[in-house]
Structure 1
């Protein structure tokens, strides 16, 4: 259900939104009535029943309202949002990931929910709310659904390495040390760094990725240099799959499902894929706390509901966004999906407390506890797919041992800063 739109900011700035001034606060008060349009990203047809029922409930609560729902593919969201913003035809309520929403929020093109819906701010997980703070906008959207990882391990591989009774690693230092031991004892790699996950790993080890203004990349830090140095050492020892760095990237799910890695940090929904791809490996799977849990730096990605400032029906649009992101409705969505709610009341429901004997339920409990107890950190929206691809391309030679880690990270920081600054034009 989650999606990251590559290059969204560049699309928007290229279409003439880059220099738009932030708008003044808009009046969202008034009677909740009339028609609004609502657009989601790739939720139909899987969640038709849930969304249609929720829309019906909203229209029953507010007689005289009509919600017209449309759904678009996630890979079309960036261009459609860009085109609609330029044309002034954005839907009244939009389901967007932070990367797609960030350019609109930075330019004040969406209602600041910190003002329009400040009365419900404290009902959301703090990092979920903070995920939508762009520039001078306190919250460019109301948080809706979230995703955050757990640590998935192959007990059979760990047993062969003599680590079967060892507690899960609590951070990357332990993971990298274990990975070297596993490779030496079994010939199996410890884990697979990837283009999509590398920025998350840096965030977990304490690298901020961007500065507070999102105009400068921050990746050439002592923590980052130490991390990449250890990855290079691990690569030489066989603790990282050889073809995962030097050749076309293979999915880390595929590698793990083939029994070629011992650890995988990913969303709990991936357990289903592992079970389908390799029942034998799934029989040896265990789940535990993510690598950033102890340091309160587990990554979280969020989708939110944004309302354009130029909506023709602001009162009803804001009311619908609040209604759909209420604790009751978010819990209902979580029960029919693999995502997590962004409200603390939802996460306190017994649905997230069970977990014994069922891997999926255990993963759900672990992730929900981390969200509820403040173990997560905000992933900067600027660290999107384009950011991740540029960063990974720069550090791969360092992991292979061809370039010094500090040089690779310095080059990455310069390239990324240029990208970030172009987005502001």
Structure 2
């Protein structure tokens, strides 16, 4: 099963080029009416992303309920493997065989929306907007395009784990982990100094999400230019350079992967690290001395909003059964069905009020509920910080620039200016 927030974004250019073949008008032209009114009838083709193996019974139940509610409609469910999913969307778009309802992440929805193949649900189904969390609804907007191009579906976010024993050893309050970046930087420097540089607070350099949580404007309002090199972005990178020099950022942070950062945390040489309920279970089995001192908090931010990973259900703007397709996409993502799905797998509903359910607010002493409650609380106001236009190639450009600045090979200003220029060049060339 793959319930991740993004597909392989490296294929975005392939998708975009294929969609260019299908667009028959200016960008955003749906090639037909956006109206989704009319009788709910006909066969709806519903495509998911690697879900049938583990959730066959769940989705067959939803389909049966929908067909019972709408006797003149039927649903054909098609499930695609995670491997090659973007290429499959590209081929369907180019061949005019895109399903009526498609499971997409925002980065996959963007080229479809730009080519006029994604229905603007703000126009066609805006009456449902109030059923979803504001941040989840906004996450389905696309840069430079008016409207919303998918119903928000399941969400996820990650809590931050911290080691209370290491906080105590450094003279920091173990019950008050940092919540803002200024607090994080101060605590990290204190910990490095008092441990004789033996304990780092963090094991990774800042990603685009960190820039967003810091309060950096990542793109202009038109979605035509990256702006993470603005003064606030340079300020963030200067702080990380200082942390690295002081030993508050792990010496291997410039090359660390998520797995190696996790090992550093498990070895108790790093005091804070993001994770999941699965990580907690591993700590309990493999590192009981760490597990006894685990604290759980939200990821540090200056905005008051956690990062949100989101999936959605897009409706094909050229569907021949548009009223039924919209009705089904809404049915799958309504509060009842999202809650049922969340109880089968560790995801969170995007519908308003769902996160107030006792399932997401009451702990029972297990690792799973400890993380679930912490994550659900942060998701109520979370946003998706990662721009849908940021490809894997652009992420590499930014990561390399950050490494050069942190090591002192370039100034933070020069490194970010160069990264923004290269990312904007890639944005223009597609």
TM over 0.5: same fold? yes
Counterpart residue number, 1:23: 29
Counterpart residue number, 1:413: 420
Q: 1:176 to 1:393 in 2, by over 3 A?
A: same
Separation of aligned partners in 2, 1:33 and 1:19 = 26
The alignment of Structure 1 onto Structure 2 pairs a total of residues equal to: 419
Separation of aligned partners in 2, 1:321 and 1:369 = 26
1:244–1:250 CA contact under 8 A, matched in 2: no
Please give the residue correspondences for 1:157-306 in structure 2 after superposition, counting only pairs within 5 Å: 157-186=166-195, 187-194=198-205, 198-246=207-255, 250-266=259-275, 270-272=279-281, 274-275=283-284, 278-292=287-301, 295-306=303-314
Separation of aligned partners in 1, 2:55 and 2:264 = 30
Unmatched runs of 5 consecutive residues or more in structure 2: none
1:28–1:116 CA contact under 8 A, matched in 2: yes
1:275–1:282 CA contact under 8 A, matched in 2: yes
1:210–1:382 CA contact under 8 A, matched in 2: no
Counterpart residue number, 1:109: 117
Separation of aligned partners in 2, 1:213 and 1:104 = 18
Counterpart residue number, 1:47: 55
1:140 aligns with 2:149: yes
1:360 aligns with 2:368: yes
Query: By how many angstroms is 1:359 displaced?
Result: 4.2
Q: What secondary structure, in the 3-state scheme, does the structure 1 residue paired with 2:9 have? A: coil
2:151–2:313 CA contact under 8 A, matched in 1: yes
Separation of aligned partners in 2, 1:329 and 1:249 = 32
Q: 1:276 to 1:328 in 2, by over 3 A?
A: farther
Q: What secondary structure, in the 3-state scheme, does the structure 1 residue paired with 2:234 have? A: helix
Name the Cα RMSD after superposition.
2.3
1:87 aligns with 2:98: no
The more displaced of 244-253 and 316-325 is 244-253
The more displaced of 317-326 and 363-372 is 363-372
Separation of aligned partners in 2, 1:317 and 1:304 = 14
Q: 1:284 to 1:170 in 2, by over 3 A?
A: same
Separation of aligned partners in 2, 1:251 and 1:63 = 53
Counterpart residue number, 2:69: 61
1:13 aligns with 2:22: no
Instruction: Pick the aligned partner of 1:328 from 336, 354, 369.
Output: 336
Q: What secondary structure, in the 3-state scheme, does the structure 2 residue paired with 1:144 have? A: strand
Unmatched runs of 5 consecutive residues or more in structure 1: none
Q: What secondary structure, in the 3-state scheme, does the structure 2 residue paired with 1:149 have? A: coil
